[in-house]
Amino acid sequence: MAYRIIWITGASSGIGKALAELYAARGATVAVSARSADALQALAGAKANIYAYPLDITDADAVPDTVRRIEAELGPIDLAVQSAAMWSQMGVDEFDTAKIRRSMEVNYGGTINVVGALIGPMMQRRAGRIAIIASVAGYIGLPQSLAYGPTKAALISFAESLKPDLDRYNVAVTVVNPGFVETPMTAANDFEMPFILQPDDAARRIARGLDRGKFEIAFPWQLVSSLKALRNLPYSAFFGVTRRMIEKREEQKRASQEASQG
Ligand SMILES: NC(=O)c1ccc[n+]([C@@H]2O[C@H](COP(=O)([O-])OP(=O)(O)OC[C@H]3O[C@@H](n4cnc5c(N)ncnc54)[C@H](OP(=O)(O)O)[C@@H]3O)[C@@H](O)[C@H]2O)c1
């Protein structure tokens, strides 16, 4: 499947940027969005077929304006990848209602703005694919994920609801559920991140899944299969595992405090 005109949000860094570089190297015309205009200009400056469209996806008016501009200037969008999001590590000790609301506003509300702006023109053309980057963190309620996890669970549910309806208009939906990827988003994490991947590796896996027209693209399989298995456990066993995750984190915190105190 060859995508000619591609729009990627969250393309100023991490997975979105790696995907933009991958598709530009394949010869596609790539529109890139995020709030950091300088980073987008640098990306666009390095490749003739990348075009910067700075955008805050929470701005409900700016999103459809940007879609209209991209389509007028570059052509109809074949593939849109909604990668923009924010992450906050949060357990009950850090409970912050404003941050939880903001996470929902960016990750879920922003995605609604992006999808809402795309479906009209795509349904009319009876063509196009919308890929929403969620996370394996959306499969289950994980410790430290009070602000982030619910946004990604909402996105998975949203994509599942959207797919059969949009199928009727020949518009495809993909949900991407990555495990850990080494990007600015994960740089400050103070917990273990098993099977962590590099952004270019994640981008290749996503592009392969999109080429195959998959609904779900999830990786790495080790994390995906264990979290999906956890999801199917009875709650008594499920909470046994997630409680152990909290205990392990507390032990790690104590050990690093003791080490820093000499
Ligand atoms: N890294 C991981 O381990 C991991 C795992 C699972 C899922 N994911 C998901 O993968 C996607 C990409 O994450 P990443 O790791 O590549 O993180 P990243 O490097 O921090 O990229 C996030 C991108 O989102 C943009 N962004 C944030 N808020 C925005 C807003 N309001 N409007 C427009 N753009 C906004 C950021 O640019 P500006 O700040 O310039 O706006 C940046 O380009 C996210 O959806 C993330 O939740 C990541």
Number of separate domains in the chain: 2
Same domain, 150 and 250: no
Same domain, 174 and 115: yes
Instruction: Tell me the pLDDT tens digit for each residue of 197-251.
Output: 999 999 999 999 999 999 999 999 999 999 999 999 999 999 999 999 999 988 8
Which residue is closest in CA terms to ligand 1's atom 34? Answer: 34
When pLDDT is cut at 50, 70 and 90, the band that residue 1 belongs to is low
Same domain, 145 and 248: no
Residue 86 CA to ligand 1 center (angstroms) comes to 6
Instruction: Tell me the pLDDT tens digit for each residue of 141-186.
Output: 999 999 999 999 999 999 999 999 999 999 999 999 999 999 999 9
Same domain, 70 and 89: yes
Ligand 1 mutation target, pool 183, 192, 224, most atoms within 8 A of CB: 183
The catalytic residue positions are 148
Same domain, 89 and 126: yes
Domain that holds residue 84: 5-231
Instruction: Tell me the pLDDT tens digit for each residue of 70-88.
Output: 999 999 999 999 999 999 9
Same domain, 209 and 259: no
Encode the chain in three state secondary structure.
Answer: CCCCEEEEECCCCHHHHHHHHHHHHCCCEEEEECCCHHHHHHHHHHCCCEEECCCCCCCCCHHHHHHHHHHHHCCCCCEEEECCCCCCCECHHHCCHHHHHHHHHHHHHHHHHHHHHHHHHHHHHCCCEEEEECCHHHCCCCCCECCCHHHHHHHHHHHHHHHHHHHCCCCEEEEEEECCECCCCCCCCCCCCCCCECHHHHHHHHHHHHHCCCCEEEECHHHHHHHHHHHCCCHHHHHHHHHHHHHHHHHHHHHHHHHHCC
